[in-house]
Amino acid sequence: MNNWCSLNKRFGCVVVILFLCSILCAQSIGGVGSMPENGEYQTVASLGGGYTAMFDSYLSENRYSGFNITCAYDNLYHRGKAKLFNHFEDEFLISLSRLTDQAKYSYSYALSFDAILKWDYKFFEDSKFTFYTGPGLATRLGVAYNPYNSNNPAQVKFFTMFAPHIAGVWRFKVADYPMALSVKSTIPLLGVTFAPDYGQLYYEMYEYDGYANSIRFAWPLLMPTIYNRISLDFPICNVLMRFSYNHNYSFYHYSDNTSALNNHSLTIGVVRTLKEIRYGK
């Protein structure tokens, strides 16, 4: 346990040092809260942590809760002469959690990777507000590991779904200090998910039924899922910072098997708006 804690501290120090170096080297180009135009693209790297709650009945019903470390990396591109969806976004979110059960007897580790691709249609913009919406694709790949479960210690969580989104940005000033508040919401609607039967072991799927029988149709009545983010952009010297509250919730109930994940995190990162480099031109 001491070796594990020492390793965690060393890893955390390295991550913090690299993150601080990226802040010191960053430069902010463009207005606060503005979307990239004329071949520009915007990139945001964030780091933070928060609280995770999980319910699972795969082998036996149990509730887990604990802290998480969250890393986010987002890109926003201007699509040049595109008439309808003139911006494209990709958002990546990695969350590592250490969770304890209700009786505080056992613990689990959970790792989730979320990738969301978005095509943006900007339907309103003035000097203070910008609103946009569009289609998207949301994918999650997660692993939960319980070292106390010798029979089937690891579980896999996966889905990919069509996910429309809507977002708004409010630009304002506090004592001549420019800021921007943005709100985003993404709701997956249709897709597929990996959902084994209650108590079904992975080797049983492989030997008897195959994994194909565990790939099921996903939609909000059986698998309600939502991604929310509230962000505040503010400049510090020559660096544009972004402080965000991230919330994602997913739930599914298939073949008497229920699973739910509720993830909250606070992240802070650096916003950079850069010129796109087109080779050969």
Please report the pLDDT score of residue 145 as a whole number: 83
Q: Is the pLDDT of residue 196 over 50?
A: yes
Q: Is the pLDDT of residue 1 over 90?
A: no
Q: Is the pLDDT of residue 11 over 70?
A: no
The residue with tokens 């008439």 is: 83
Q: Which stretch of 56-60, 187-191, 258-262 has the lowest confidence by average pLDDT?
A: 56-60
Task: Tell me the per-residue pLDDT of 117-168, one tens digit each, with 9 for 90 and over.
Answer: 999 999 999 989 999 999 999 999 988 887 776 666 777 888 999 999 999 9
Q: Which stretch of 47-56, 210-219, 244-253 has the lowest confidence by average pLDDT?
A: 210-219
Which band of pLDDT confidence, cut at 50, 70 and 90, is reported for residue 7? Answer: very low
Range 100-106 average pLDDT: 80
Please report the pLDDT score of residue 152 as a whole number: 66
Considering only residues 107 and 73, tell me which one the structure prediction assigns the higher pLDDT. Answer: 73
Please report the pLDDT score of residue 19 as a whole number: 52
Range 73-98 average pLDDT: 89
Mean pLDDT score of the chain:
82
Q: Output the pTM of the full model.
A: 0.83
Which band of pLDDT confidence, cut at 50, 70 and 90, is reported for residue 49? Answer: very high
Q: Is the pLDDT of residue 227 over 80?
A: yes
Considering only residues 209 and 128, tell me which one the structure prediction assigns the higher pLDDT. Answer: 128
Percent of the chain at pLDDT exceeding 70: 77
Please report the pLDDT score of residue 124 as a whole number: 92
Q: Is the pLDDT of residue 29 over 50?
A: no
Which band of pLDDT confidence, cut at 50, 70 and 90, is reported for residue 67? Answer: very high
Which band of pLDDT confidence, cut at 50, 70 and 90, is reported for residue 62? Answer: confident
